[in-house]
Amino acid sequence: MMNSLPPVKGNRIICELPLYFTRDAAVHTKDGFNITVKDACQGQKTGLNVAKVIVVGDVGVGKTCLINRFCKDSFDKTYKATIGVDFEMERFEVLGVPFSLQLWDTAGQERFRCIASTYYRGAQAIIVVFDLSNYSSLDHAREWLEDAMRDNDPSSVLLFLVGTKKDLSHPEQLAVMEQEAVRISEEIRAEYWAVSALSGESVRDFFLRVASLTFEATVLSELERNNSRQASDIKSRTIVMKILKRDNPAAVVD
């Protein structure tokens, strides 16, 4: 007897598009899902979807803590650097359709960077993480993005710039860092979020947003491929009919 997957957790069921963190640095400012995507889901014209999300950033910025807070609702105060790459799979239901995020937690240490970069290919979303209490980690965001984008198509990847350790930042420092982060996010065309893995502030909202936008992009891509195949099939049939009519004008082709 085959083992069936347990039901998706109630807080992983998405019926409406979650709101952005700030309108000034949002990938999409629309209020809801694309109407084509909604129609496809209602008509069951899309299948089981999985999206690959890679998480990059300097060592110690809190990438693992961010993922663990969302996936396991836990926070480990004992720092352990990621060696190479770790992997988590999180299941959702978006507009009634099963959907999963593969969350790839990559090492920030220089000696493991080459190992981690081999896992960048084929990402649907890239999350660049920095520490809101450490300006240099924000300054390095562009470098991490450049590394991650080398093996990915810029036109098909969603980008997110996430500031962690919001709870450790003084209000004045936070205001300055966020202003610069919003500016950088606009430059690299990423959506900006500020979170705290320690308290959990905005973590769930952020990942629901990531899941929703990657789901929408995945479905639209699937529909586009299907439409292209249908157009190609119609073109092929038309060519065949023309050849048959040319060779046998009296033939009737249905």
Of 108, 230, 209, nearest to 158 (Cα)?
A: 209
Residue 36 lies in a domain: yes
Q: What is the CATH number of the domain that holds 92?
A: 3.40.50.300
> Which amino acid makes up residue 247?
D
d(CA 139, CA 240): 59
DSSP β-ladder status, 191-194 and 158-164:
parallel
What's the domain count of the chain? 1
pLDDT tens for each residue of 45-104: 777 689 999 999 999 999 999 999 999 999 987 767 676 688 899 999 999 999 999 999
Helix (H, G, I), strand (E, B) or coil at 154: helix
Cα–Cα distance for residue pair 85/78, rounded to 1 Å: 19
Chain CA centroid to CA 44, Å:
22
In whole angstroms, what is the distance from residue 199 CA to residue 228 CA? 47
pLDDT value at position 1? 45
- The predicted pLDDT at position 183 comes to 96
252 vs 137: which has the higher pLDDT:
137
Q: d(Cα 37, Cα 223) in Å, to the nearest integer?
A: 9
Residue-wise pLDDT tens digits, 145-185? 999 999 899 889 999 999 999 999 889 999 999 999 999 99
Token match 């562009």: residue?
A: 142
Within a domain: residue 254?
no
pLDDT of residue 251: 52
Helix (H, G, I), strand (E, B) or coil at 45: coil
The answer as to whether 252 is a domain residue is no
Q: What are phi and psi for residue 98, nearest 5 degrees?
A: -65, 140
For 189-228, the pLDDT digits (tens) are 999 999 999 999 999 999 999 999 999 999 999 898 776 6
Q: Do β-strands 158-164 and 13-14 pair in parallel, antiparallel, or remain unpaired?
A: unpaired
Q: Is residue 247 situated within a structural domain?
A: no
List pLDDT tens digits, range 10-53: 999 999 999 999 999 998 899 899 999 999 999 887 776 899 99
Residue 3 lies in a domain: no
**63-72 vs 203-247: helix axis angle to the nearest 10?**
80
Query: Of all residues in the chain, what percent carry a pLDDT higher than 70?
Result: 82
Whether 220 maps to a domain, the answer reads yes
pLDDT exceeds cutoff 90 at 253: no
In a domain, 248, yes or no: no
pLDDT per residue as tens digits for the range 143-154: 999 999 998 998
**Whose CA is closest to 52, among 89, 84, 27, 85?**
89
Is the model's pLDDT at 2 over the cut of 60? no
pTM summary value: 0.85
Q: Calculate mean pLDDT across residues 235-243.
A: 57
Query: pLDDT for 96-132, tens place per residue?
Result: 999 999 999 987 665 566 666 788 899 999 999 999 9
By the 8 A CB rule, do 15 and 99 touch? no
Residue 144's domain spans which residues? Answer: 10-229
Asked if 126 and 149 count as a contact pair (C-beta separation under 8 A), the reply is: yes
Could you give the CA distance from residue 2 to residue 22 in angstroms, rounded to a whole number? 45
Query: Per the domain annotation, does 70 fall within a domain?
Result: yes
The CA distance from 112 to 84, in Å, is 6
Written as six digits, the tokens of 113 are: 């960077």
